[in-house]
Structure 1
Amino acid sequence: MSEGNDSDPNLDQKPPNVPPASSSASPHPIPRNAFTALMSREGKVPTKPANILHKSTSNAFSKFDKRDGLGSYIQNPERSNVSQIIFYNDEFVGINDLYPKSSVHCLLLPRSPKHQRMHPVAAFEDREFLASVRENAAKLKTLVAKELQRRYARFSAQEKAREAVLNGEVELKDGEELPEGRDWEQEVRVGIHAHPSMNHLHIHVISVDCFSEKMRYKNHYNSFSTPFFVELDAFPLSADDERRHPGRNGYLNSNLKCWRCGRDFGVKFALLKEHLAVEFEEWKKE
């Protein structure tokens, strides 16, 4: 996918930014990287990457082509770039988002021919399909939470006791268990955009921090911080749910409000971005 797609504030885009699963055991495994370990057990990954997401050099690369960009992962995950694939099975593919809007941002792609090009609101009326989506989204959410813990546990006050044991500073007594630490799954959101930017159905599994260099526009931020982002747990939506008609309420044009403290920045996106960097550091310390 060309970098040009990221300049479109209406595109949440295709997929990454999380370490992929390794296709073979490493003689020197990274200590305590639970995310990598889990992914290596959870699903298949390609052993021979293919250059599927090449940059187009032609001006004829159409908007329609860009919006179909997730299709290659769905059809041929085994031939996709190994750095982007987290896991895949017969029904779903989990990938890193190519233009992440938080420090960890992944996508779950259904492979069902019946559902893969449907609007999520319609697709999730199928309760059997929705149950399958929830099951695989939960799997990806756990992996994202493990990655957050791997990256940020050393900064977190809630992880202090656990880190002390893991670092050898404290020894557990007989019968004692390793402290659980922070519940990182609480720091992960799962949902869809009420008006998706890509033609293929995709579910966002994203950390709450909104800290990324790819978060470049007001629309980017509001697409995740307003009801434009619909949590997976909300489905199926009732017939009168206003989120079925996102354009009526102008969610993307709403004032910019900090996800963590609620401060209203109006339309001053540059100021919000500076503030988000500060909040990111404070969030890590919780």
Structure 2
Amino acid sequence: MSFKYALVPYIRAPEKHPSVVLYYDENVSIIKDAFPKGKVHLLILPRNEETSKKRSQEAFKDEKTRKLLEGYVNQGVELAHKAFNKTWKRIDGDEQKKMKIIVCCHSVPSLNNLHIHVLTTDMCGKNMKNKKHYNSFTTEFAIKFDEFPLKEDDYRLQDKGRCESLLKQDLFQENAS
């Protein structure tokens, strides 16, 4: 099976992968990302086959789909906070502060199944290896969940080339378009 279909086992049979799957029900699987870009990096995978085959830009045009997944996004954020706090301690001692979390989908996904990234903003996961990785979460290449549905004139709906160019820009150049 091609790498583009790497998420299929967690969608079809999450119960067979307890070391990777943190939560599942009939609607979603929430898994640990195999190639984390933050200290904590999770993926929310819709289990509906029709939804799973869509790009986020299309799937979240449907208000019912977006609303359904919104609850799971909140759950994913809580799971990410718990995972972070279990491993890491704040150096300022203020345990009430929570680590910032990014919730997004890539405008040009690398995998064929719809997945929502939930990750800490530290950007120092063990698989953060190059500027493409960094830029995929810190530029408009990453469509924040609360931006959905995108406006009809948003270039990220159709301009794959422009989206991919964001991965090549210099680091720390916020939201250059």
Same fold flag (TM > 0.5): yes
Cα gap change, 1:154 to 1:227, in 2 (>3 Å) = closer
**CA deviation after TM superposition for structure 1 residue 148, in Å:** 2.0
Match of 1:136 among 72, 94, 98: 72
The code of the aligned residue for 1:183 comes to K
Whole-Å Cα distance in 2 between the matches of residues 205 and 121 of structure 1? Answer: 17
Aligned to 1:68: 5
Whole-Å Cα distance in 1 between the matches of residues 173 and 94 of structure 2? Answer: 23
Aligned to 2:167: 252
How many residues were matched structurally? 172
Aligned residue for 2:31, secondary structure, equals strand
Whole-Å Cα distance in 2 between the matches of residues 102 and 251 of structure 1? Answer: 19
- In the alignment, does 2:104 pair up with 1:191? yes
- In the alignment, does 2:59 pair up with 1:123? yes
Structure 1: unaligned runs, 5 residues or longer: 1-60, 160-180, 260-286
Aligned to 2:150: 237
4+ runs of 1 displaced by more than 3 Å?
none
- In the alignment, does 2:17 pair up with 1:103? no
Whole-Å Cα distance in 1 between the matches of residues 12 and 26 of structure 2? Answer: 10
**CA deviation after TM superposition for structure 1 residue 258, in Å:** 8.0
Whole-Å Cα distance in 2 between the matches of residues 241 and 258 of structure 1? Answer: 20
Matches within 5 A, 1:14-93: 65-80=2-17, 82-93=18-29
Aligned residue for 1:220, secondary structure, equals helix
**CA deviation after TM superposition for structure 1 residue 192, in Å:** 0.2
User: Structure 1, residues 53-96: CA drift from partner, whole Å, max 9, x if none?
Assistant: xxxxxxxx6xxx1101100110001112x211100000000000
- In the alignment, does 2:115 pair up with 1:217? no
The code of the aligned residue for 1:248 comes to R
Whole-Å Cα distance in 2 between the matches of residues 251 and 141 of structure 1? Answer: 26
For the 8 Å contact 1:228–1:246, the answer to whether it is kept is: no
Aligned residue for 2:122, secondary structure, equals coil
Aligned residue for 1:125, secondary structure, equals coil
Whole-Å Cα distance in 1 between the matches of residues 71 and 173 of structure 2? Answer: 30
**CA deviation after TM superposition for structure 1 residue 235, in Å:** 0.2
The code of the aligned residue for 1:75 comes to R
Whole-Å Cα distance in 1 between the matches of residues 101 and 141 of structure 2? Answer: 17
Whole-Å Cα distance in 2 between the matches of residues 79 and 258 of structure 1? Answer: 42
- Please tell me whether Structure 1 or Structure 2 has the larger radius of gyration of its CA atoms: 1
Which one scores higher on RCO, CA 8 angstroms, separation ≥ 6? 2
User: Structure 1, residues 195-235: CA drift from partner, whole Å, max 9, x if none?
Assistant: 00000000000000000221112211111111000100000
